[in-house]
Amino acid sequence: MSLDLTIAVSKGRILQEALPLLARAGIVPEEDPERSRRLILPTGRAGVRLVVIRAADVPTYVQYGAADLGIAGKDVLLEHGGAGLYEPLDLGIARCRMMVAGLPGATPAPPTRLRVATKYVTTARRHFAAQGRQVETIKLYGSMELAPLVGLAHCIVDLVDTGGTLKANGLVPLELIAEISSRVIVNQAAMKMKHDPVKALLAALADAAGVPATASGGRAGAGGGG
Sites of contact with ligand AMP (CB under 6 A):
13, 73, 94, 96, 158-165
Nearer to ligand AMP, 145 or 207 (CB): 145
Nearer to ligand AMP, 132 or 141 (CB): 141
d(CA 81, CA 58): 12
The least distance separating ligand AMP from the CB of residue 14, rounded to whole angstroms, comes to 7
The least distance separating ligand AMP from the CB of residue 114, rounded to whole angstroms, comes to 20
The least distance separating ligand AMP from the CB of residue 119, rounded to whole angstroms, comes to 8
Nearer to ligand AMP, 73 or 225 (CB): 73
**Cα dihedral 85, 89, 90, 92 sign:** negative
d(CA 224, CA 8): 19
The burial class, CB within 10 Å (0-12 / 13-18 / 19+), for 154 is buried
The least distance separating ligand AMP from the CB of residue 32, rounded to whole angstroms, comes to 21
Nearer to ligand AMP, 85 or 91 (CB): 91
How crowded is the C-beta side of 84, counted as CA atoms within 13 Å?
A: 17
